[in-house]
Copies of this chain bind each other. A is one copy, B any other.
Amino acid sequence: MQEKKKIPKSVASRLSLYLREISRLEDEGGDKVSSVELGELTGLTDAQVRKDLSYFGQFGTSGSGYEILKLKNILRDLLGKDNIWHIVLIGAGNIGSALLRYPGFKNQGFIIKEAFDIDQKKIGKCYGEVTVKDVRQINDIEKDRSIKIAIITVPVDSAQDVAEEVTRYGIICILNFSPVILKVDEGVTVRNIDLSNELENFSFILTSAKG
């Protein structure tokens, strides 16, 4: 095992971009890739690519590029790609139920194992192998120690309560679709997907363009 420096979170978020492009190049029969090429594919500068990849030790030779297979295996290892990750989803509304039906997660080793809702009309609904349960049973997830990731797709007023509850039951990663800043304990990572915010960014651009 080669020596590794501690990888900062900012680099971590780019690892899956690298892995995706590297895998594509491998599928196309490639065996080496330069930092310039990888930069173009990921939209990053080649300097950024070299800096990021330097965290995994020296396996690129100046001028000849990185070995695709070696780089792929390192990235897969770091990203835990050979593991299966279990997820709990809270809020089986429009967005939540779409995620329950979304095949993309499973293909990548992410399995939504439990789903909860407060609405009697949604409780009992089946999505593949997952049946939506009553949110009052959410402490069930504490018994299943394999679930460390929660997807929160509840209305904005409930999101903070749900976040506090799931972290009490062992969740340390939250993907939050509710447009609210969640306050969580240290050691819990929250990533936000805020559709309204993205669209408002566009309306700002369009408004500026008009004016």
Which residues does A use to contact B, with CB under 8 Å? 7, 12-13, 15-17, 19-20, 41-43, 77-81, 83, 85, 87, 94-95, 97-99, 101-105, 108-110, 148-149, 172-173, 175, 179, 181, 189, 191, 193, 195-210
Q: A94 to B15, alpha carbons, bound, how many Å?
A: 26
Whether the pair A83, B149 counts as a contact (CB closer than 8 A) is: no
Question: Whole-angstrom distance from the CB of A202 to the nearest CB of chain B?
Answer: 4
Q: Summarize A's interface: helix, strand, loop or mixed.
A: helix
Number of copies of this chain that the complex holds? 2
Question: Whole-angstrom distance from the CB of A200 to the nearest CB of chain B?
Answer: 4
Whether the pair B196, A16 counts as a contact (CB closer than 8 A) is: yes
Partner of A175, one of B102, B103, B109, B202: B202
Q: A110 to B42, alpha carbons, bound, how many Å?
A: 30
Whether the pair B101, A94 counts as a contact (CB closer than 8 A) is: yes
Given A204-B15, A204-B79, A207-B79, are A110 and B149 also a contact pair (CB < 8 Å)?
no
Whether the pair B83, A207 counts as a contact (CB closer than 8 A) is: yes
Question: Whole-angstrom distance from the CB of A20 to the nearest CB of chain B?
Answer: 6
Partner of A85, one of B99, B104, B193, B203: B203
Whether the pair A175, B199 counts as a contact (CB closer than 8 A) is: yes
Whether the pair A197, B17 counts as a contact (CB closer than 8 A) is: yes
Question: Whole-angstrom distance from the CB of A82 to the nearest CB of chain B?
Answer: 10
Question: Whole-angstrom distance from the CB of A126 to the nearest CB of chain B?
Answer: 16
- Interchain residue pairs with CB less than 8 A apart (24): A7-B208, A12-B204, A13-B201, A16-B196, A16-B197, A16-B200, A16-B204, A19-B200, A20-B179, A78-B204, A79-B203, A80-B206, A85-B202, A85-B206, A94-B103, A95-B102, A104-B195, A105-B195, A105-B199, A110-B203, A149-B199, A149-B202, A172-B206, A193-B195
